[in-house]
Amino acid sequence: MAGRLGIKIDVDTLEGFCKGVPALLQVLGDQAVKASFFLALGPDHSGRAIFRIFRQRGFLEKMWRTRAPALYGFKTMCYGTLLPGPRIGAAAPDLVPRLAAAGHEVGLHGYDHVRWHDHLFHLPPEQVTREITLAQDAFTKYAGRRAAAFAAPGWQCSLSSRTALAAQNFLYGSDTRGTTPYFPAFGNTVTSVLEIPTTLPTLDELLGFHGCRARDFTRLVLSRLENGRPQVLTIHAEVEGGPFLGEFARLLERCRDRGVAFFRLEDWARELLREPDRLPVAQVTLKRLPGRAGRVSCQGPVEARPS
């Protein structure tokens, strides 16, 4: 079996950045796999996510199913509520250059992850732009250059956010769930930044469903690679870089045994953008996904390109 797999690693919290990222660096290095990291470098306000219990259908059930306090730690659950939210990037400023030096792609995962995740659709466009600018400024401080890619926290994107990415010259975004790269449309407006969606479900979405365990998830990923089409898997520094690190290492091993080729999303984006006219346009719609609380931005049916 061959197949192509892009590993997208979202880093949401201080715990994920300081502990999950170094652990993942080690495992990826052992397997000689290059991945795409997306960092939220602003304040860790994870404790505020608790208010989703009152707003989002399925949040409490998901917290219980994934045993979130065990995954994220009690302290993390207090940041932004009982404890002030620490600045994530400042806690380990050498990590961003270390990731790049190891050959991984490093992009942005918002600034204040919880603010974007919970409020994007209520923020005025200038506030959306500000979140992206703050993220880019923090990244530039640690990396010495601007980031080329943005992955929206919680797969929440809007016309405002995609317009801001275009204004700030991002190469591509990875904001949605879908099947194939495309240019996102919102009603009659087609936006100009390429979108590379996450194509596979995540481990935390599947855990606990009908007794589903991590090894069942590995089997599912391997089966989805069989059709040979490139797939994008999102993992979390707090999950696969934490209690499920061993299972993630086994997934990489089994992929390598089967001849799967790993790619960085940025390299695929550059390859695709050599012929942008061949890429489809698709509407972005909000949908509920099994195992995920609330609604996420998803790729809708492919549309004809406007002439």
N-term to C-term CA, the chain:
40
Among 8, 12, 163, 176, binds Zn ion (CB under 5 A): 12
**What is the closest distance, in whole angstroms, from the C-beta atom of residue 152 to Zn ion in the complex?**
8
Residue 10 interacts with Zn ion (CB under 5 A): yes or no = yes
Of residues 153 and 294, the one with the C-beta less far from Zn ion = 153
Q: For residue 15, what are the β-bridge partners?
A: none
Here's the x/- map for Zn ion, 154-193, by CB under 5 A: it reads as ----------------------------------------
Of residues 234 and 299, the one with the C-beta less far from Zn ion = 234
- The answer to whether residues 4 and 33 touch, using CB atoms and an 8 Å cutoff, is no
Among 85, 107, 153, 201, binds Zn ion (CB under 5 A): 153
Of residues 12 and 131, the one with the C-beta less far from Zn ion = 12
Q: How far is CA 68 from CA 169, 242, 281, in A?
A: 36, 12, 37
CA atoms within 13 A on the CB side of 287: 12
Of residues 105 and 183, the one with the C-beta less far from Zn ion = 105
Q: Is 118 helix (H, G, I), strand (E, B) or coil?
A: helix
Of residues 10 and 205, the one with the C-beta less far from Zn ion = 10
Closest CA to 140 of 168, 119, 173, 120: 168
**What is the closest distance, in whole angstroms, from the C-beta atom of residue 239 to Zn ion in the complex?**
11
CA atoms within 13 A on the CB side of 204: 25
**What is the closest distance, in whole angstroms, from the C-beta atom of residue 154 to Zn ion in the complex?**
6
DSSP single-letter state for residue 274? T
Binding site residues, Zn ion, CB under 5 A: 10, 12, 153
